[in-house]
Amino acid sequence: MPLFPAIEAALRAGSAILEVYRRDFAVEYKADCSPLTAADTAAHETIVERLQPLGLPILSEESEDVLVVERAAWRRFWLVDPLDGTKEFVKKNGEFTVNVALVAGGRPWLGVVYAPVLDILYWGSGAAGPGEGAWKATGCAGRTAAQVLDAAVPLSVAAPGRPGESLRIVASRSHCGERTVAFIEQLEARFGAGERVSLGSSLKLCLVAEGSAHVYPRIAPTMEWDTAAAQAVVEAAGGNVYEYDPALTAIDYLDPAAAPGRLRSLRYNKDDLRNPFFVACGSLDRSGGSGSRGT
């Protein structure tokens, strides 16, 4: 099954990243001014080495120059960010991840997110069998994929509005503009003052998946490889990652029935690999449960 090689690829890439992280390293800059280190390259090569024998195409941030006409023919492929959060890596705050997603039909079918310094691994899958659902494991370094699965605990998104529970909002440290502030203010008008939490990289989405946060509005640029793996985790945990629509209110994202046909999940392998802005969240708890799927 693809889950085992995906976990192994993420763990091996994490080990390669830590080898660079623990020593002095140079920082180069790409044409878009984003940083690049030896850890990015080492992680990319490690992931490709593990996944390539499976026979599916691989689209990585470090090999993004695949022609659109070639990608259009891919029914299933690996979408990878070998080091998500290179800025966090350079700062040495530990808040960076390895993202490995299996995309099928434009949707992330399987996702693995590994934070090497924190030694935390998340994964989510909608496929029946071992690993179905959303899971989190700690102390993963040096373990096999099977051992990681045995030590994992299941995840579930949290529904805002439960009695005695304050609202928890993921707000990016670097990307919190006027629209994000307005979005948060709408939530707080409904649920009261909220606690704002933040982490680097795709860990922000994982906070929603594990129920540590209720909502993550990302009204700022991201790329497909930044989100695919963590979106799979959020959705497997019962949550949603919707395209942001400025015509909707913040509450609409938590109550899909309020905006029928308007909520759309992020899609992948588009001609333009940039994501639209998005909102990751659970759903309002109306009957003791949470989570609903987008269209």
Can you give the pLDDT at residue 289? 40
DSSP one-letter string for 142-210: T--HHHHHHT-EE-----TT-TT---EEE--SS---HHHHHHHHHHHHHH-S-EEE--STTHHHHHHHT
For residue 78, give every residue at least 6 positions away whose Cβ sits within 8 Å of its Cβ, in sequence order, or none.
Answer: 6, 51, 56, 57, 58, 59, 100, 101, 102, 103
Contact 33, 143 (CB under 8 A): no
Distance CA 187, CA 169 (A): 9
Contact 85, 96 (CB under 8 A): yes
Can you give the pLDDT at residue 175? 59
pLDDT in tens, 11-35: 999 999 999 998 888 887 776 767 7
| CATH number of the structural domain 3-154 | 3.30.540.10
Q: What residues in the chain have per-residue pLDDT under 50?
A: 288-295
Can you give the pLDDT at residue 294? 39
Top-tier CATH class for 168-281? alpha beta
Please give the helix or strand (H or E) that residue 218 lies within, else none.
strand 215-218
pLDDT in tens, 248-274: 999 999 988 888 889 999 999 999 999
Distance CA 103, CA 78 (A): 6
Task: Spell 259-269 as b/e; 16+ CB within 10 A means b.
Answer: beebbebbebb
Token digits of residue 112: 């693995």
Domain definitions of the chain by residue range:
3-154, 168-281
- The model carries a pTM of 0.92
Can you give the pLDDT at residue 111? 97
Can you give the pLDDT at residue 286? 56
